[in-house]
Structure 1
Amino acid sequence: MKEIDIIQQIKSGEVSKVQFKERLLDNYDIGCELVAFSNARGGTLVVGVKDKIGSVNPLSYLEVQETTNTLGNIASENVVPAILVDVETISVDGGSLVVAHIKEGMNKPYHDNRGIVWVKNGADKRKVFDNAELAEMMTDCGSFSPDEAGVRDATIKDLDENTIKTFLSNKFEKVLVRKGLVGDALCEASLDTVCSAIASGHNGEKLMRNLRFIRPDGKITLAAMLLFGKYTQRWLPAMTAKCISFVGNNLGGTQFRDKVNDADIEGNLLHQFETIMDFFNRNLRHIQVGKEFNSQGVLEIPYISLVEFTVNALVHRSLNATAPIRIFIFDDRVEIHSPGTLPNGLTVDDIVVGTSMPRNMFLFTNAIHLLPYTGAGSGMLRALSEGMNVSFTNNDRTNEFVITINRLEGNQVGENSNQATEKSNQVNGKSNQVNDNLDTELRYSGTERIKLTNKQKDIVNFCTVPRTAEEIMNRIGISNQSKNRKQNITPLVEAGYLEMTNPEHPNASNQKYRRSKK
């Protein structure tokens, strides 16, 4: 550091990464500063500056020697575990300044010699007592993996077999194709049968143990509950998402156009992803891109970008933070709030050039077999290549990473748009319910025009959130057999009341059906 740089910094005053001390009068206090720097992103301590008024009081030659020795002793005796401090001297008029550079620690959390953990809080520091914050420090430096932690009292019976089968069919696709377990055969096979086909002699529990979803102590891992849980929020209530489409541009607004109910978003990551994407499809405008009047429209914000941003929020969120993902649609922008700041010292500049350092490595490497992303670090680049006006905020104060996507002015919701009006969507929720008034006559199913029965109305309304064939069959109380699916689901698809989430592969094991937006 040069003299001109340090003088400029002194004029600017103390900040979170630069602290001033006139002299080292209290070893314990200095030790606390070093602890706080080590637990944060590192920092610089300048000795020879009055921290209250920012004026320079240079050290003599003897004071420089004493200060340098004292800093070394404090770093080894007052910081636990001990750290190394890089010390340099800078000559100024009348003497010298001692500048100590403290790197971000690799063995967090650090504490003082009284056992107290300190972190930076702006230009000051504060004590840490929250276990979640301590866990986040340990996660940040790789000494703790929350996605591999056990979920107390949960068993394999709390995991959804169909989702596990979907995961296994994607991960071991070649093996299962050779064994003939595809399409209906895979759907109708038991989990144990599928696992035995993958690894001879393995049932569901044994294979899940070998894949590290069940720990040696028998506990279900947090990653397994997130990926496969039947009722994930029963065990992990904060691992959910809040989705609201507001009237206007103010987070404090009292009116909304659409809101995903808590009960509808509850479920594993695949269910959450599909529910969030359905929310985007309902509330973002579709733009006509072809010359023909009936040409298919595309979302005003590219679908591929929304997929990448949503998957990143679900997979890379802090698992130690007890807060949900929040997704807001305003008239002029879309915001995606993911709990936890960027991990491993990443910056916004890093991620926009494709640098990938996953926070939850075990979850990250397995979610690729359920969620649509490559895991190669190219997702953010693909999203940004769509030419959107997007910004990223790494907010230390609120402990979250925020993606803000500006909506084009011509695509914003206006008073006379085809979106719901302010008056009809008050927060009292009177008109926020799913429209139950379906046509009494079904559109053409094949060549025959039939009336829509109450059971069919119930199926269509049930599929406001994407549902599997088995969920639909359970809803109407019959077995999930091929003939029952053809009789109860196919006519609704052909008539345009339901649509497949994966229309290119009708027999895909992860196929779901949702209410059509036509």
Structure 2
Amino acid sequence: MNETELLDILARGEDSRHQFKANISNIDALAAELVAFANSGGGVLIIGVSDLGEVQGLSAADISRLNQLLSNTASQSVRPPIHPISLNIRTAQSLVMVIQVPEGLNRPYTDAQGRIWVKSGADKRHVTAREEMQRLFQQAGLIYADEVPVASATVANIDRPALEEYFENRYRQPLEETGPSLARLLQNMGLARDGVLTLAGVLLFAKKPERFRPAFMIKAVAIPGGELHETRYLDSEDIFDRLAGQYQRSLAFIKRNLHHVQGDQGVNSLGILEIPEIVFQELLVNALIHRDYFISAPIRVVVFADRVEISNPGHLPNHLNVEQIRYGLSNMRNPLLASHATHLLPYRGLGSGIPRALNACPRLELVDDRIGNQFKAIIPRRAR
């Protein structure tokens, strides 16, 4: 970074990637800034500048002291330690120190008191909500939502016929002929832990899973216009079920609220769906398997007059972006669910679902809303 680049940043003001400080003398204050950047994609801390972006400058003694403070803070007051890079830039007014903080590879980072800080706009905030902490650990691969036990769900809540059918289809062996007890078998499959069902066990095989996790359902609505705030609807359904049932019922909801067109079919044909069915098969499966189950919110399916929208709680995980998933790159947020879903849903786990949907519907729009913390697929309908 040179002076011209620095002045350009100062002219634009503070944001989530750039923080200005006139000076810093407190090791805890510096640690909080470093931790927030490391947990939030990295950024630049500029010292010697007012909040308004006016250069106030630093003395040579300030620069020496700040370098020592930075070294001590990054190695002793940030856990795990990070490795920021400092750069001293001479402006027409005075010296300014620029500290570049890379995105942390071992998130979440904490300060010496064990507090987790993240960026919130141009400021930072202390993370206290359990769900947000869980998501940070999830991003680091330290915890997966589908492996977490659901305290009130026990082995007795398993829908045994559904499990027996799955087991025989997958392993070609009746469930009753296996050696271990049901509790041990479920634990071996990752569906229970010490007699308590994991989230995967609840979502895949529990009787009435909505008793334990009512938010993990699909809200489906068909609206005659193009805005969500329409005063009436054509069809509506709250879909509570196991994952396989949610998939089947939400696909049926979409199909019954779309038109069928004759196309090249004969006059006596029922016609073909205005949007290829495979588009919804792939998008619904991806929503159910890859949603963020640390967010207590439903998947939303809305059939508008001109489009269909499928909104999924949680933006794309880690560094994954829309362009990457267009070409088949994937990152499993719920590996346990994914491993079982290949035998329950039309899912292969190869990252090929989105490319198939795009091939069938090139105008499909994918939106990774990181501020709203959701992923949305927008499927345009045929003009009539």
Instruction: Using structure 1 for the length normalisation, give the TM-score.
Output: 0.69
Aligned partner of residue 393 in structure 1, secondary structure: strand
Identify if the C-alpha distance between structure 1 residues 286 and 70 changes in structure 2 by more than 3 Å, giving closer, same or farther: same
Residue 284 of structure 1 aligns to a residue in which SS?
coil
In structure 2, how many angstroms separate the alpha carbons of the residues matched to 1:122 and 1:393?
21
In structure 2, the CA distance between the partners of 1:287 and 1:69, relative to structure 1 (3 Å rule), is farther
CA deviation profile, 1:269-304 (whole Å, cap 9, x unmatched) = 001001110111111122222152223422222211
CA distance in 1 between partners of 2:163 and 2:62 (Å): 66
Structure 1 counterpart of 2:261? 287
Q: Which amino acid in the other structure matches residue 317 of structure 1?
A: R
Shift in Å, 1:106:
3.8
Q: Which amino acid aligns with 2:188?
A: N
CA contact (8 A) 1:351 1:380 kept: yes
Query: More displaced, 97-106 or 139-148?
Result: 97-106
Alignment match, 1:242:
219
Unaligned stretches of 5+ residues in structure 2: none
Q: CA deviation at 1:332?
A: 1.9
Q: Give per-residue Cα distances to partners, 1:305-354, cap 9 Å, x unaligned.
A: 11111111111111111111111111122211111121122222322222
1:370 aligns with 2:336: no
Determine the structure 1 residue equivalent to 2:28: 28
Amino acid across the alignment from 2:196: K
Structure 2 residue 249 is the aligned partner of structure 1 residue 275 = yes
Which residue is 1:130 aligned to?
129
> 1:108 Cα deviation (Å)?
3.5
1:139 maps onto 2:138 in alignment: yes
- Structure 1 segment 250-399 matched on structure 2, within 5 A: 250-260=227-237, 262=238, 265-399=239-373
Contact 1:45/1:100, CA 8 A, preserved across alignment: yes
Match of 1:82 in 2: 81
Separation in structure 2 between the aligned mates of residue 225 and residue 33 of structure 1, nearest angstrom: 40
CA distance in 2, matches of 1:408, 1:313: 23
* Counterpart in the other structure of 2:70: 71
Give me the whole-angstrom Cα distance separating, in 2, the residues matched to 1:295 and 1:47.
Answer: 72
Structure 2 CA distance for partners of 1:62 and 1:408, relative to 1, 3 Å? farther
Q: How many residues are paired up?
A: 384
Task: Mark the CA change 1:113 to 1:206 in structure 2 (over 3 Å): closer, same or farther.
Answer: closer
Give the 3 Å change call, closer, same or farther, for CA 393–90 of structure 1 in structure 2.
Answer: farther
Does structure 2 conserve the Cα–Cα contact (< 8 Å) formed by 1:145 and 1:360? yes
Report deviation, 1:150.
Answer: 1.0
Q: Which residue matches 2:187?
A: 209
Q: Percent identical across equivalent pairs?
A: 38
Contact 1:151-1:235 within 8 A present in 2 as well: yes
Residue among 150, 170, 175 paired with 1:194: 175
Q: In structure 2, what is the Cα distance between the partners aligned to 1:346 and 1:395? A: 12
> Equivalents in 1 of 2:90, 2:282: separation in Å?
51
User: Counterparts of 1:346 and 1:56 in 2: how far apart (Å)?
Assistant: 37
Give yes or no for the alignment of 1:17 onto 2:27: no
In structure 1, the partner of 2:200 is 223
| Pair member with larger Rg | 1
Q: 1:25 to 1:256 in 2, by over 3 A?
A: same
What's the Cα RMSD here?
2.2
- CA shift, 1:143, in A, is 1.2
- CA deviations on 1:372-424 (whole Å, 9 max, x unpaired) are 111011111111112332222222332212222222333xxxxxxxxxxxxxx
| CA distance in 2 between partners of 1:285 and 1:9 (Å) | 52
Q: Relative to 1, partners in 2 of residues 1:301 and 1:11: Cα closer, same or farther, differing over 3 Å?
A: farther
One-letter amino acid matched to 1:194: L
Contact 1:390/1:404 (8 A) holds in 2: yes
Letter of the 2:96 counterpart:
L
Give 1:31 shift: 2.0
Deviations 1:60-96 (A, max 9, x none): 4443333222222222343334332233334444554
Contact 1:348 1:393 in 2 (8 A): yes
Asked whether the 8 Å contact 2:183–2:195 carries over to 1, the reply is no
Moved over 6 A (4+): none
State the Cα distance separating 1:135 from its structure 2 match.
Answer: 0.8
**Which residue does the alignment assign to 2:101?**
102
Conserved? CA contact 2:115–2:126, under 8 Å: yes
Q: Can you give the 5+ residue segments of structure 1 that lack an aligned partner in the other structure?
A: 177-192, 411-518
Given the two structures, how large is their TM-score scaled by the length of structure 2? 0.92
Residues 4 and 392 from structure 1, CA distance in 2 versus in 1: closer, same or farther, beyond 3 angstroms?
farther
Higher relative contact order (CA 8 A, sep 6+): 2
Give SS of 2:153's match: coil
Q: Which has the higher strand share?
A: 2
SS at match of 2:28: helix
